A = this chain, B = another copy of it.
């Protein structure tokens, strides 16, 4: 057998696995210390009651001979895809339900969608960004070029005509910087993609956090976008589904290249290497779109926004440079007094018991930066920022 040698080019472990290992080691050595986790982007508020009730009822259905269901439809149940299409209609986007594919999460789809592409593609990845965009392409041996996000461009890189790219990743609102593109900026990316005959992988996992007007919640409002963009989204951060697992991917039918339809290819890939999402989970996701579910979820998102505000105010008081927090659950700060983000991670863990995410884990431009998340509960956020202030005040 010949293994995939590209794995040797990956960093030894996935960023969040490294953090978890460091935190576990610290806990073992200091079992008395209370650790405040503001690192991994994991939600903490319970599921909306409407979602819980729907999943409980679905589990019961499966326990009953008359209502039992086995394998579900290939793209996901109609009841869910129709809700997703309705959500897009509210954003002003019209989609055919056959363009929506339900999955167990955006992370799976972002990785697996690359099965549709040849090794010979140049991938354009923002720096800093969610590490799986680069890692999944390193695994496939693709050439990666980076689009620099920095304070000078408001952490929103724009197309550079001199760069040739075939696959373009956009994450908006961005993880980790929290920066979000306007509709007009996305339209510029779409025009660039069309000139380059490239495809855009648009990660909209944090769209529910957009609060300022003029910022995009989907890429599908730009002209000509249906010929060049796939959109990945998730219920993880919207409805607190990080442990429930549900997401979806939109593949417009106009997305065709060399006689191959990406919609048809993705259907073929998913029917061959995937067997759908749990019926129980799909019923839960459907309930997240009910009137009751929407209200309950909006309350959770408001609480996380409140936390983000708390973090921003604390950093304002300390005079620490940061971005994000407004249209995103992430706050991206310059490490006060440190140029190395892992050194800052260790210092903060050891001296304040606060866990964040080292910026360098998101790319070279993240060096010296640090990501805090607004997903912890209010008490944790307050205490963490008090400890933070005591250390750096």
Contacts and interface: CB of A to CB of B under 8 A. Distances in A.
B108 A167 contact: no
Interface size class of A (residues with CB under 8 A): 35 or more
B62 A243 contact: yes
A4 B117 contact: yes
Contact of A7 (B3, B105, B265, B277): B265
Contacts of A258: 3, 5
Given A271-B17, A275-B107, A280-B244, A4 B115 contact: yes
Nearest to A51: B63
Interface stretch (A88-96, A132-140, A337-345): A132-140
A64 B60 CA distance: 20
Interface stretch (A41-49, A348-356, A384-392): A41-49
Contacts of A49: 63
Given A62-B46, A260-B7, A268-B14, A275 B245 contact: yes
Given A55-B59, A279-B244, A108 B274 contact: yes
Given A59-B52, A136-B272, A269-B139, A1 B198 contact: yes
A197 B3 CA distance: 12
Interface in A61-114: 62-65, 68-72, 74, 104-105, 107-108, 110-112
A28 interface: no
Nearest to A8: B260
A10 interface: yes
B118 A3 contact: yes
Nearest to A109: B273
A152 interface: no
A281 interface: yes
A120 B6 CA distance: 13
A57 B10 CA distance: 40
A245 B136 contact: no
Contacts of A288: none
Among A48, A117, A265, A278, max chain B CB count under 10 A is at A278
Given A1-B166, A47-B59, A105-B275, 10 more contacts: A4-B117, A7-B116, A8-B260, A14-B268, A45-B68, A46-B65, A47-B68, A104-B274, A104-B277, A245-B277
What 4 pairs between A and B have smallest CB-CB spacing?
A111-B273, A52-B63, A42-B70, A70-B242
26 contacts: A2-B118, A3-B117, A3-B257, A5-B118, A7-B116, A7-B268, A17-B271, A42-B71, A44-B68, A45-B68, A47-B59, A48-B63, A49-B63, A52-B63, A62-B243, A62-B244, A68-B240, A70-B242, A72-B243, A104-B277, A105-B275, A242-B275, A243-B276, A244-B280, A278-B278, A278-B280
